[in-house]
Homo-oligomer: A and B are copies of this chain.
């Protein structure tokens, strides 16, 4: 399970060494479909590499981002979340439980955003981040009943 999509080979191609720990971080991020924090990745990885250290998880996540195989979502307070899908896409974040989901709406937004970018005169825009925040279905249900 959790095929890492050949990421280990890619990391290796870029001159990196493929250690047990690095592979475990890759696999953890690739196998989970949501948007784990470094601490959550650490917990997942500890199941297969019990004595890995938090620093190593941080180091490998950072490396993964630098190599362009993951993106870091540092919206909101608290910890960054990591996303194995690197193409730019929109998110919804729950203000109650911090859950993050993907929204596949880029095609409908693209033209508006192109136009909007023009407002930043003189800027060299390289990325955009569109995020909706509110209550996820579970949390809004709980809110309703109390």
Contacts and interface: CB of A to CB of B under 8 A. Distances in A.
Interface of A: 74-77, 80, 90, 92, 94-95, 101, 103-105, 108-109, 111-113, 115-117, 119-120, 122-137, 140
A104 to B, nearest CB: 7
A90 to B, nearest CB: 7
Contacts of A126: 95, 133-135
A129 B130 CA distance: 6
A27 B105 CA distance: 41
A133 B73 CA distance: 13
A132 B117 contact: yes
Contacts of A119: 90, 103-105
